[in-house]
Structure 1
């Protein structure tokens, strides 16, 4: 994948001013810091302020009376996920159960809950309700009956039309988050969920970072090895474009059915990224120049050259994308095979 040069229109759409103050929006600072007395706010946080906030935010009812567990379906960041049925409606939901032991996890979970409640979008898994059950926080979300993109990648080879539809939906979700000062920080195939109607949504906000006017960049290492952007690996301050790098890695996953350097130990994979070595397609000529250019726009080492979500939505590969409903036959076929396999076990 060669280097790219942004067109004038794309350059004009740069995210340079994307994080201007929006006081009407919730920010991490408004929950956990005091502008007049930071030391006092920090002490308050240590004394368990985050747990008190959770108690104020969550539903006070007993979720065991409202939902019936059907099965365990997987693990997300900081918690296990099960499929359940709403006893009143008969509809299926996903319940993420998070153990709150440990102060930092409590703080993170308040963050996750607030970002889910405030940032609602068709391309983000829909938040429904939350409860405190003993030492656990239960997050009730819509159930994505088509499984994960990781499942799809492991079972079949995606066409470029299918990839374009998936990229477009992910970018719409990321553009929404970035416009609302949120860095996702955990874009990977197992966090991209599907429905049997073809819809594609981002899930699991356990590692998100809420930016504020006072803190428009982050430097903490957060994410999953293999998908980390160079600036995260090298400990440099970073912004929302770390999500774009990770999306480019998801693109490599879709193309080659595995993460670059998958067989290398995590440290080796990170060293390659830290040295400024971009992932390369093993057989680039098998794919269109438009797809290759799109991936190149995502996987630029220099953040200034890496395209934003807004710019990528205007890339020719995405502009030619078909509606996500084209994914429905593929998702349903793979789901049917998985169900048949389960019956044989």
Structure 2
């Protein structure tokens, strides 16, 4: 798609108006590769929100942004981030989602040590999100700790649907290489035909990431064996409120680095 076609398509799926007239506080929360994240309060909804501001001119693959908005708008389930609204103002795209104060799973795996039951709790919640997506023949294709957000009460939600792909009865498998390499299944790396099962492989690697406290992954015999063992392992899962102490500990550790 050309830039003009992308902008035209975006304008058909976003809300009319300027988000800065509705959200005025705009406190900076974080900075990602695709844009800046702010927090604010939606008075009408009575809840805190996160607003991702994306400069469209700086995005090399703008069509992925369209894909992300469409997936978040269409698919609603407790384990997928709550999409609230989106706006385009000149060359800026504003995506509004429910704010999750726990931050990303990456913060927890790098700053704390998770026990087996807590790892199983995260795995169980992510599997519920993937089960929902896979029923609708949607492959996430980028499962990793960066793309899992946590609520302070321990809720677990998938984010970042830019790499999602839909398969159809006529095209039951995909063959494009788009995921983050360390989490990819072999068939994705070699660009062979693959199915939604690649998300389960990536989730297995993410489980190893949690065990190894975010350290580099070794794609060898042990990770593959762990992949086969992951479903019985989920029976160990604690309630996800058990994640709250880890989130608090991770935030304290991150403050000490400043």
Q: Deviations over 1:261-290 (max 9, x none)?
A: 4xxxxxxxxxxx6xxxx3526xxxxxxxxx
* 2: CA distance, partners of 1:126 / 1:52: 25
1:126 equivalenced with 2:41 (yes/no): no
Match of 1:80 among 24, 32, 35: 35
Q: State which structure, 1 or 2, has the greater radius of gyration over its C-alpha atoms.
A: 1
| Whole-Å separation in 2 of the counterparts to 1:161 and 1:248 | 15
Picking from 93, 117, 135, the partner of 2:49 is 93
Correspondent of 1:159 among 104, 111, 115: 115
8 Å contact 2:184–2:202 — kept in the other structure? yes
Q: Does residue 333 in structure 1 map to residue 249 in structure 2?
A: yes
**Aligned equivalents of 2:28, 2:143: Cα separation in 1:** 25
Deviation at 1:213, TM superposition (A): 2.8
- The alignment's C-alpha RMSD in Å is 2.4
- Alignment of 1:297 with 2:254, yes or no, is no
Q: Of the candidates 91, 99, 105, which is equivalent to residue 149 of structure 1?
A: 105
TM-score, normalization by structure 1: 0.68
Q: Which residue of 2 aligns with 1:168?
A: 124
TM-score, normalised with respect to structure 2: 0.89
Question: Does residue 57 of structure 1 match 2:19?
Answer: no
In structure 2, what is the equivalent of residue 180 of structure 1? 136
Does the CA-based 8 Å contact 1:48-1:103 persist in structure 2? no
Alignment of 1:1-345 (within 5 A): 45-46=1-2, 48-67=4-23, 68-75=25-32, 79-86=34-41, 88=43, 91-101=47-57, 105-257=61-213, 258-261=215-218, 278-280=220-222, 295-297=226-228, 315-338=231-254, 340-341=255-256, 345=258
The superposition leaves residues 223-259 of structure 1 with CA deviations (integer Å, 9 ceiling, x where unpaired) of 1121111001111011111111111111111112213
1:70–1:49 CA distance, 2 compared to 1 (3 A)? same
For the structure 1 residues 200 and 87, does the alpha-carbon distance in structure 2 shift closer, same or farther, using more than 3 Å as the test? closer
Residues 144 and 192 (structure 1), Cα distance of their counterparts in 2 relative to 1, 3 Å cut: same
CA 1:200/1:47 → structure 2, altered by over 3 Å: closer, same or farther? closer
Q: Distance in 2 between matches of 1:84 and 1:97?
A: 11
What is the deviation of 1:98? 2.7
Contact 1:129 / 1:140 at 8 angstroms: preserved in 2? yes
Superposed CA offset, 1:195-242 (max 9, x none)? 110111111111111222332211111011211110011110111111
Once residues 12 and 98 of structure 2 are traced to their aligned partners in structure 1, the CA distance between those partners, rounded to angstroms, is: 23
1:102 Cα deviation from its structure 2 partner: 8.2
Q: What secondary structure, in the 3-state scheme, does the structure 2 residue paired with 1:187 have?
A: coil
Q: Secondary structure at the match of 1:280?
A: helix
Structure 1: gaps spanning 5 or more residues: 1-44, 262-272, 282-291, 299-311
